[in-house]
Amino acid sequence: CSPSAYECFTINCVTFPSPACMPEQQLLKPSEWSYCDYFWADKKDPQGNGCITGFEVLLQKQLKGKQMQKEMAEFIRERIKIEEEYAKNLSKLSQIPLASQEEGTLGEAWAQLKKSLADEAEVHLKFSSKLQSEVEKPFLTFRENFKKDMKRLDHHIADLRKQMVGRYAAVEKARKALSDRQKELELKTQQLEIKLSNKIEEDIKKARRKSTQAGDDLMRCVDLYNQSQSKWFEEMVTTSLELERLEVERVEMIRQHLCQYTTLRHETDMFNQSTMEPVDQLLQCVDPTKDRETWVRENKTGEIRPVDIEI
Ligand SMILES: *[C@@H]1O[C@H](CO)[C@@H](O)[C@H](O)[C@H]1NC(C)=O
Ligand SMILES: *[C@@H]1O[C@H](CO)[C@@H](O)[C@H](O)[C@H]1NC(C)=O
Ligand SMILES: *[C@@H]1O[C@H](CO)[C@@H](O)[C@H](O)[C@H]1NC(C)=O
Ligand SMILES: *[C@@H]1O[C@H](CO)[C@@H](O)[C@H](O)[C@H]1NC(C)=O
C-alpha cells in the first residue's frame, strides 16, 4: 500500500493515509502514550468556530500546568498564614499572667503549661518558615522565560504549517493546470480524428509538450509540499517530546514538594507532642500534701494552740 493521491486524504493541508493503509502505521513510541503519537490532527475549538492544532492542545496543557503550579503556591501561602497567626495567638496567650501566683507543685505544672504554648508557637513558626522555603518558594521558581519559550515554539510550528498551506495550494493549482492541459490535448486529438491537418498535428505536439510540462510542474510542487510536511513532522516530534519531558519534570517536582509538605506536617505533630511532655511530667508530680506542707511552712502564723482559762 504505497501512498498515492488516491490512497491519501488531506485535512487542513496535512496529508494522512486512507484507512486502507492504516494497519501499516505503527506508533512511534508504542505503549507509552507519548505526546508524539497522539496530536497529529487538528481539533474543533470547543468554544467556537475555528480549529486548534494538536500542537496547540499540547501548548495549552503546558500553560495550564504552569498556572496550576502558581495556584498551588498561592494555596500554600494561605496555609502559611494560618500557621503564623496561630503561632502568634499561642505566643500571646502564653504571656498572659493569668493564675501566675499559683503555688507549689501545682504552680510549677501550671507555669510549664503556659510555657508549652510558647514552645508550641515556636513549632508552628518553624513549620511555617519551612513551608515557605521548602514548598512555596520552589513552586514559585518557574523555569525562566517559560511563556516566551512556549510562544516561540508555537510560532515555529505555526510557520511550518503556514508553509505547508502555501505549498498545498500550489499543488492544487498545478493539479488543475495539468488537468486543463490534458483536456486540451484530448480535444486536439479528437479534432485530428475528425480532420487530418498539419496545423492540428502541430497543435497536438504543442499541447503534449505543455501537458508534460504541467506534469513536471505538479511533481515539483508535490516534492516541495512533501519536504515541507516532512520538516513539520520532524519538528512536531522533537518539540512534542520536549514538552512531554517538561511535563514529566513538572509533575515529579510538584510531587516531591507535596511529599515534603506531609513530612513537615508530621514533624510538627511530633514536636507539638514533645512540648506537652514536660507538662505531663510536672502534672504527675503535683502533690496536694506536699503543697500544703510547703505553704504551711511559709505562711504559718503560730502553732501554740489556745487552752481553757484556769482560775
Ligand atoms: C487568632 O486570634 C484572633 C483573635 O484574637 C482570631 O480572630 C483568630 O481567628 C485567631 N487565629 C487563629 C489561627 O487561631
Ligand atoms: C512525496 O512523498 C511521497 C511519500 O514520501 C513519495 O512517495 C513521493 O515520491 C513524493 N513525491 C515527490 C514528488 O517528491
Ligand atoms: C498541636 O497540639 C495541640 C494540642 O496540644 C493541638 O490543638 C494542635 O492542633 C496541634 N497542632 C498541630 C499542628 O498538630
Ligand atoms: C506566704 O508565704 C510566701 C513566702 O514567704 C509569701 O510570698 C506569701 O505572700 C505568703 N502568703 C500570704 C497570704 O501571706
Give the integer Cα–Cα distance in Å for 108 and 98. 14
51 DSSP 8-state letter: E
Ligand 1 atom closest to the CA of 88, numbered from 1 = 1
Ligand 3 atom closest to the CA of 265, numbered from 1 = 13
Q: Is 226 in the pocket of ligand 2 (CB under 6 A)?
A: yes
Alpha carbon of 107 to ligand 4 centroid (Å): 14
**pLDDT on residue 8:** 80
Alpha carbon of 58 to ligand 2 centroid (Å): 29
The grid cell for 235 is 519538528
Q: Is 164 in contact with 14 (CB distance < 8 Å)?
A: yes
**pLDDT on residue 22:** 65
**pLDDT on residue 5:** 47
Q: Is 206 in contact with 127 (CB distance < 8 Å)?
A: no
**pLDDT on residue 6:** 55
Q: Is 241 in contact with 37 (CB distance < 8 Å)?
A: no
Q: Is 134 in contact with 267 (CB distance < 8 Å)?
A: no
Q: State the distance between the two ends of the chain, measured CA to CA, in whole angstroms.
A: 141
Alpha carbon of 114 to ligand 1 centroid (Å): 18
Cell 510540462 identifies what position?
213
Q: How many CB atoms lie within 10 A of CB 160?
A: 19
Alpha carbon of 88 to ligand 1 centroid (Å): 9
Contact residues for 242 (Cβ-Cβ < 8 A; gap 6+): none
Q: Could you tell me where the beta strands, DSSP code E, fall in the chain?
A: 8-11, 14-17, 43-44, 51-52
52 forms beta bridges with 43
Q: Is 92 in the pocket of ligand 1 (CB under 6 A)?
A: no
Q: Is 133 in the pocket of ligand 4 (CB under 6 A)?
A: no
Distance of CA 58 to the CA centre of its chain: 11
pTM of the model: 0.82
Protein residue whose Cα sits closest to atom 2 of ligand 3: 272
Protein residue whose Cα sits closest to atom 3 of ligand 1: 89
Residue segments in the chain with a per-residue pLDDT below the cut of 70: 1-6, 21-23
Q: Is 40 in the pocket of ligand 1 (CB under 6 A)?
A: no
Protein residue whose Cα sits closest to atom 8 of ligand 2: 223
**pLDDT on residue 47:** 82
Contact residues for 167 (Cβ-Cβ < 8 A; gap 6+): 221, 224, 225, 228
The grid cell for 258 is 507535596
Cβ < 6 A, ligand 3 pocket? 120, 268-269, 272, 276
Q: How many CB atoms lie within 10 A of CB 308?
A: 5
**pLDDT on residue 1:** 44
